[in-house]
Chain A
Amino acid sequence: MGSLQLSSIRKSFGTHEVLKGIDLEVKDGEFVIFVGPSGCGKSTLLRVIAGLEDATSGSVRIDGAEVVNTPPAKRGIAMVFQSYALYPHLTVKDNMGLGLKQAGEGKAVIEERVAKASTMLSLDPYLARRPAELSGGQRQRVAIGRAIVREPKLFLFDEPLSNLDAALRVQTRLEIAALHRRLKATMIYVTHDQVEAMTLADKIVVLSAGAIEQIGSPMELYNRPANLFVAGFIGSPQMNFIEAGRLNETNASTIGIRPEHITLSREAGTWKGRVEHVEHLGADTIVYLETDVTGLLTVRLFGEHPYAADDIVYATPDAASMHRFDAEGRAIRA
């Protein structure tokens, strides 16, 4: 239970086309993440899957059944929102149970499922409270609990961690990962944060301007980006892009090299350059240098390194880790 097929989903608001024909297949039990910059249509796509937004054309199938004309409550989905969206006038327990109550489940079933979910999320002490009396993290756990209680075929997450502070975000991320392992449910998750995408996903869908740029596992996207957009979007700091002409490469238009695939030396190397700025992060040192051949170059070194601004250094790229892109921005694979 819990597969999803999207075929040629299009969505326009007036004359503005937000989704330009999305095809996607999600298998049962997969954790799929939609990632992309703001305004790329990823939230709209999620809302189309949920039935909160009608697609202009295209078909949505959940478990093989066409659901385009099915209201959200009957699609067998549950959704967790960025702003939690808890019912302010209901207690935690009633918040979690409302969906089942509306679906006409018996009291005993509701009690049992709410109890199970609240234990799973350690919400037991808060069941009688109202959302206003909870912290941000607790509210988001209630929202997740409300989704679990419905035992849906599909879990939909719409940027669920964006409102949490950094420490809580990491913790909740781990909880969501643990939840996915335990429930083995199909989850679709929208985020603009590529770290969340890389850490949680079985499969990442990179979207840009309403179209899918690439679908693949986190490591596929990292190691074999299909185009300039994906190459630039996945990985932090961003991949360095160098005009092929400056490196005397004739069979490509742009050369990409990740900051972590460049080594620095004070004595000798391929590109001579001057250090512009250094960021010491403890585990990493990020060096920004200006070289004669490549222009501005970002280099990520592991561990601590005593470089300082205005040092003269030599950078050497790892030739095997270079990415080549043609004039249209598509990756060239040997």
Chain B
Amino acid sequence: MSKARSSFLRTGFVHVALIAYTLIALFPVFLTLVNSLKSRNAIFREPMALPTPKTFSLIGYETVLSQGDFFGYFQNSLIVTVVSIALVLLFGAMAAFALSEYRFRGNMLLGLYLALGIMIPIRLGTVAILQGMVATGLVNTLTALILVYTAQGLPLAIFILSEFMRTVSDDLKSAGRIDGLSEYAIFFRLVLPLVRPAMATVAVFTMIPIWNDLWFPLILAPGEATKTITLGAQMFIGQYVTNWNAVLSALSLAILPVLVLYVIFSRQLIRGITSGAVK
């Protein structure tokens, strides 16, 4: 912002607001991390205190890593998340390209229909989905989760990407057609690189709910071999006794991969903006 247009007071307020929001957003994460490194008594006695040499304990992490197949859960979560994101991006981008590029009867209607899923939560269909999965024998497979998450992520992906694809220069696509590129080549080689920032945005929006979801893993894939990390962490939460050390440690570990994926996508987000083909 230029100096002429900003007053000290206004910038001050903006910063106060942003800092306050950051604190509120980070506080639960901070609490989880801090308490995962404390002994059980210390968690209950002083939940806000930092771990001291006296209260420091790795018992939670030891429990998590020794009980149950935690690396397996991690792997399941990663497979489900990454494959779902890939499918959502691929199919979402293709549908968005068709909607934004081709004029055909019912284009608008189809676009609205595809975006309907943003407004209607997929969980309303849980019973039908479960019946479908049972009928097709997909219960307790990662495929079941991937299919559901792909369906869940597509509406928003199509909505965001089709708006972005409308901004890609028509001339560029026409030039491609005159140079003899197929529609697929135009899509993959000309359009996709130009909407990469939007793809990164969609990837982030798609990733978080999938990684954090407890509902569908619990219903569709509760078996030991297909447990995801959030479901795996549940085994430390009992009806009468909860192993807080283990729960907090498991959650702390679960933050890591999602953080890595986020960093990857946000780098793409920045890099994708820098291209200067059209004016």
A residues at B contact (CB < 8 Å):
47, 50-52, 71-74, 77-79, 81-89, 98-99, 102-103, 131-132, 136, 146, 158, 163
Contact = CB atoms under 8 A, between A and B. Distances in A.
Contact of A78 (B172, B178, B276): B178
A47 B278 contact: no
Q: Which of A47, A87, A98, A131 counts the most B-chain CB atoms under 10 A from its CB?
A: A87
B179 A88 contact: no
A52 B177 contact: yes
A83 B179 contact: no
Contacts of B172: 83, 85-87
Contacts of A99: 178-180
Contacts of A163: 279
Contacts of A78: 178
Given A79-B175, A131-B276, A163-B279, 16 more contacts: A47-B174, A50-B174, A52-B178, A73-B179, A74-B180, A78-B178, A81-B174, A82-B171, A85-B277, A86-B172, A86-B277, A86-B278, A88-B276, A88-B277, A102-B180, A136-B279
Nearest to A71: B177
B126 to A, nearest CB: 42
25 contacts: A47-B174, A51-B177, A52-B177, A52-B178, A71-B180, A72-B178, A81-B174, A83-B169, A83-B172, A83-B278, A85-B169, A85-B172, A86-B175, A87-B176, A87-B190, A87-B277, A88-B275, A88-B276, A98-B179, A99-B178, A99-B180, A103-B180, A132-B274, A132-B275, A132-B276
A191 to B, nearest CB: 16
B275 to A, nearest CB: 4
Nearest to A73: B180
Contacts of A50: 174, 178
Interface string B186-200: 000110011000000
A73 B177 contact: yes
Contacts of A71: 177, 180
B181 interface: yes
Contacts of A72: 174, 177-178
A164 B143 CA distance: 54
B178 A131 contact: no
Contact of B175 (A51, A85, A103): A85
B177 A83 contact: no
A73 B174 CA distance: 10
Interface of B: 169, 171-172, 174-181, 189-190, 193-194, 274-279
A73 B180 CA distance: 5
A102 B181 contact: yes
A82 B174 CA distance: 12
Given A131-B276, A132-B277, A89 B193 contact: yes
B174 A84 contact: no
B223 to A, nearest CB: 45
B180 A88 contact: no
Given A73-B180, A99-B180, A102-B181, A81 B175 contact: yes
B177 to A, nearest CB: 5
Contacts of B189: 87, 89
A99 B193 CA distance: 20
B190 to A, nearest CB: 7
Contacts of B274: 132
A317 B183 CA distance: 60
B178 A73 contact: yes
A52 B193 contact: no
Contacts of B194: 88
The list of the 6 closest CB pairs from A to B, nearest first, reads: A73-B180, A88-B277, A132-B276, A102-B180, A85-B171, A81-B171
